[in-house]
């Protein structure tokens, strides 16, 4: 039986919310009322294989040709389409560990043979091309990673990505880089890995860094022939997106810098609170990253699930158990929603740890 569900998503939808919610991964919601140009909203439009103004907006943001852009319902569907268009049952896929669970689940659902390469905690979860080299075989079709890394928020620099691209090319594989957190690098934001060579495919959306999850504005960047195959494959699933969401997405692209700057203030205030918290803690520790909306904390003693149950039941505070990343001695916390809530959540976490 192939995997046909996601345990993490069930948790995210039913168990992650709380008064003090540290189980988030993206910034707080951007309110519709603050988005200009709403008078142009309409119900039906000319979408077909992409709504032209949206295709152009995504292409301009990424510095690519619109022929390389495949619109998708969030990074979730983008990842699914990217993998499904490339993989047949039994094909070998290398996925980072720890990883966002849906990347693994989607590959398993597609019947791929999933192998893992480690991002080691002792290296601060940095990507090591040698770990990929060791896992690579002539059968490898795809290498999958996130940049920034979910859960640790570690940034992989371009020279390392290039090395991984070279490894992929040596066996005729491709590299899928999920960049849904990349724009949370607020200074010298790296360009998309898609621009590094034809072996790269990239997925992204306006969800995590912009607070626009409800628009489901996601995309894949792929070589035009592959992009065309993805559009055709998407016909089997969603056919066309909701046109009002496309129009709102185009409106959002016109104000993307301001939307990002608004969230940045909260993320940076929260990171300062997290740094202060970690500096005062002996029971937990985490790799310190300058960017990103998540932190991955190690509990030095005791059981993470028991701690998080107590945190939820006695302190109205939630975080994501590390078992969803197959790292049971850690848990993930999220920044960028509301600093008052975040600060109080950390205070309660400190109490639960005592």
If the CB atoms of residues 11 and 49 are measured against ligand PLP, the closer one turns out to be 11
If the CB atoms of residues 151 and 345 are measured against ligand PLP, the closer one turns out to be 151
272-296 residues labelled b (16+ CB within 10 A) or e (exposed) = ebbeebeeebebbebbebebbbbbb
Question: 116 - beta bridge partners?
Answer: 95
If the CB atoms of residues 178 and 246 are measured against ligand PLP, the closer one turns out to be 178
If the CB atoms of residues 105 and 146 are measured against ligand PLP, the closer one turns out to be 146
Instruction: Indicate the residue whose CB is closest to ligand PLP.
Output: 74
Q: Distance between CA 182 and CA 188 in Å, rounded?
A: 11
Q: Distance between CA 309 and CA 352 in Å, rounded?
A: 10
Geometric angle at alpha carbon 154, from 321 and 306, rounded to 5°: 15
If the CB atoms of residues 321 and 348 are measured against ligand PLP, the closer one turns out to be 321
If the CB atoms of residues 32 and 306 are measured against ligand PLP, the closer one turns out to be 32
List the end-to-end C-alpha distance of the chain, in Å, as a whole number.
44
Instruction: Please report how close the Cβ of residue 302 comes to ligand PLP at its closest, in angstroms.
Output: 26
If the CB atoms of residues 335 and 352 are measured against ligand PLP, the closer one turns out to be 335
Q: Distance between CA 25 and CA 222 in Å, rounded?
A: 26
Instruction: Please report how close the Cβ of residue 257 comes to ligand PLP at its closest, in angstroms.
Output: 20
Instruction: Please report how close the Cβ of residue 279 comes to ligand PLP at its closest, in angstroms.
Output: 27
Instruction: Please report how close the Cβ of residue 110 comes to ligand PLP at its closest, in angstroms.
Output: 16
210-244 residues labelled b (16+ CB within 10 A) or e (exposed) = bbbbebbbbbbbbbeebbebbbeebeeeeebbebe
Instruction: Please report how close the Cβ of residue 266 comes to ligand PLP at its closest, in angstroms.
Output: 18
> φ, ψ for residue 183 (rounded to 5)?
-75, 0
Instruction: Please report how close the Cβ of residue 206 comes to ligand PLP at its closest, in angstroms.
Output: 8
Instruction: Please report how close the Cβ of residue 181 comes to ligand PLP at its closest, in angstroms.
Output: 7
If the CB atoms of residues 320 and 352 are measured against ligand PLP, the closer one turns out to be 320
Q: Left (φ > 0), alpha (ψ -120 to 50) or beta: where does 224 sit?
A: alpha
> φ, ψ for residue 215 (rounded to 5)?
-75, -20
In contact, 334 and 273? CB cutoff 8 Å: no
Q: Distance between CA 58 and CA 53 in Å, rounded?
A: 9
In contact, 333 and 109? CB cutoff 8 Å: no
Instruction: Please report how close the Cβ of residue 283 comes to ligand PLP at its closest, in angstroms.
Output: 26
Q: Distance between CA 284 and CA 299 in Å, rounded?
A: 5
Would you tell me which residues interact with ligand PLP (CB under 6 A)? 25, 74-76, 100, 146, 150, 178, 180, 205, 207, 213, 218
């Amino acid at each position: 039986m192939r995997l046909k569900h996601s345990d993490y998503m069930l948790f995210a939808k039913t168990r992650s919310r709380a008064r003090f919610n540290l189980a988030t991964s993206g910034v707080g919601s951007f309110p519709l009322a603050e988005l200009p140009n709403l008078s142009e909203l309409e119900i039906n439009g000319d979408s077909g294989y992409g709504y032209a103004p949206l295709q152009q907006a995504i292409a301009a943001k990424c510095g690519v040709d619109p022929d390389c852009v495949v619109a998708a319902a969030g990074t979730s569907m983008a990842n699914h389409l990217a993998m499904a268009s490339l993989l047949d049952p039994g094909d070998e896929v290398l996925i980072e560990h720890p990883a966002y669970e849906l990347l693994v689940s989607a590959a398993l659902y597609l019947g791929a043979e999933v192998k893992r390469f480690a991002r080691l905690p002792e290296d601060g979860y940095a990507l090591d091309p040698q770990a990929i080299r060791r896992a690579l075989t002539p059968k490898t079709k795809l290498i999958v990673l996130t940049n920034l890394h979910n859960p640790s928020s570690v940034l992989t620099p371009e020279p390392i990505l290039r090395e991984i691209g070279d490894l992929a090319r040596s066996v005729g594989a491709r590299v899928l880089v999920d960049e849904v957190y990349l724009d949370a690098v607020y200074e010298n934001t790296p360009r998309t890995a898609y621009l590094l060579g034809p072996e790269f495919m990239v997925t992204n959306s306006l969800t995590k860094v912009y607070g626009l999850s409800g628009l489901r504005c996601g995309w894949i960047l792929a070589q035009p022939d592959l992009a065309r195959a993805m559009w055709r494959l998407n016909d089997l699933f969603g056919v066309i997106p909701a046109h009002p969401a496309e129009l709102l997405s185009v409106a959002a692209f016109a104000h993307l810098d301001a939307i990002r700057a608004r969230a940045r203030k909260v993320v940076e205030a929260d990171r300062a609170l997290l740094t202060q918290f970690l500096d005062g803690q002996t029971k937990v520790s985490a790799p310190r990253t300058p960017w990103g909306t998540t932190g991955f904390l190690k509990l030095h003693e005791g059981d993470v699930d028991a701690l998080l149950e107590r945190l939820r039941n006695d302190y109205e505070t939630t975080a994501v158990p590390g078992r969803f990343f197959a790292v049971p001695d850690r848990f993930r916390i999220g920044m960028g929603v509301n600093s008052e809530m975040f600060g109080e959540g950390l205070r309660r976490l400190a109490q639960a740890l005592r």
